[in-house]
């Protein structure tokens, strides 16, 4: 069973594009682009392993969503993309987070034994 990642962005097609570009990774991608959709995803999918939020949302919305995520799912890490790298930096950011946080976990556990 693949880890589940919730991608949050300003536009639905941006999130879909990220998932398409990273479909080679063993990840189940979910997307959300507004408050209601974030809440629905968090409440209906208990397997969400982490949340990655794009930089296109304004700071007020990002802060609100962070509060919601932390309240509904305090067990989930939240990763915020920087604004400096621009829209082209989203895919590499998501791939880096997933590789470091989710896909390297079995290797980390094996080396700890």
pLDDT tens track, the chain, 113 positions: 899 999 999 877 778 899 999 999 999 999 999 999 999 999 999 999 999 999 999 999 999 999 999 999 999 999 999 999 988 899 999 999 999 989 985 544 343 34
Model pTM above 0.85: yes
Report the top-level CATH class of 4-112: alpha beta
**Torsion over CA: 17, 37, 7, 90 (sign):** positive
Q: How do 48-53 and 4-8 pair as beta strands?
A: parallel
Q: How many CA atoms lie within 13 A of 90 on its CB side?
A: 23
Write the CA distances from 98 to 47, 63, 105, integer angstroms: 15, 22, 10
Domain boundaries, the chain: 4-112
Give 16's contacts (C-beta < 8 A, 6+ positions apart).
Answer: 31
| Residue burial 57-92, b: 16+ Cβ < 10 Å; e: rest | beeeebeebeeebeeebeeeebbbbeeeeeeebbbe
């Amino acid at each position: 069973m693949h880890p589940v990642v919730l991608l949050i962005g300003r536009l639905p097609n941006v999130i879909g594009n990220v998932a398409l570009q990273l479909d080679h990774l063993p990840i189940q991608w979910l997307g959300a682009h507004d408050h209601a959709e974030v809440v629905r995803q968090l409440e209906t999918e208990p397997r969400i392993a982490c949340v990655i939020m794009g930089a296109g949302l304004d700071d007020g919305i990002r802060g609100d969503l962070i509060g919601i995520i932390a309240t509904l799912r305090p067990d989930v890490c939240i990763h915020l993309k920087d604004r400096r790298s621009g829209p082209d930096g989203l895919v590499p950011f998501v791939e880096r987070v997933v590789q470091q946080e989710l896909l390297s976990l079995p290797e980390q556990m094996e080396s700890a034994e």
